[in-house]
Amino acid sequence: MKLRKDFKDVAIVNHTGGIEYISVMHPDFFGFRPEELVGKKFTQVYTNIDEESSTFMRAINYGERYMDYTQTLELLDGRRLSQAEDIYLIRNGEDVVGAIEFARYDEKTYLLKPDKIKNNSDSDESFCLENIIGSCPEIREIKRKVSKIVDR
């Protein structure tokens, strides 16, 4: 399995769904700064998801896997965003310790159709994992764990 390169945002949550890390390509689009979300849950960020409907929580609690899954999220200001996402579990041995999401969306129209997603790997709007989350020791360890998941 290969990691897509056309994602715009990445988020990492812990086993309770608490946001540990988030990087968004267009923070003004969402109306928040990423650092404001660390420690919160996405159920506190989007008005139309709860613990049972959150893809992060379903992945963590039930081992569900999401690849090119499209969901519509309602932002706090009422705007709706459809995004395609890939969610991978992060494990420590057999224990699920969190999950990582790579999301794609069209911020110009707030509407995304999975069959219209294009690979932007040659454009300025595409970036690699290192550009998004850096390379401090903690992030290198997360990337090592993620690479084990992706290579399965």
Dihedral of the alpha carbons of 37, 43, 49, 50, in degrees to the nearest 10: 170
pLDDT under 50: residue ranges of the chain: 110-128, 131
What per-residue confidence (pLDDT) applies to 139? 67
Instruction: Map residue 43 onto helix, strand or coil.
Output: helix
What is the C-alpha separation between 19 and 10, in angstroms, rounded?
11
CA distances from 10 to 56, 78, 93, 94, 101 (A): 12, 22, 23, 24, 6
pLDDT for the residue 2: 58
pLDDT recorded at residue 134: 57
Give the tens place of pLDDT for each residue, 55-78: 999 999 998 889 889 988 888 888
Instruction: Return the pLDDT at 5.
Output: 65
Check residue 1 and give its pLDDT: 53
pLDDT of residue 32: 79
pTM as predicted: 0.68
Partnered with residue 68 across adjacent β-strands are none
pLDDT at 116: 37
Q: How far apart are CA 56 and CA 49, in angstroms?
A: 11
CB 73 within 8 A of CB 83: yes
Q: What is the pLDDT of residue 92?
A: 87
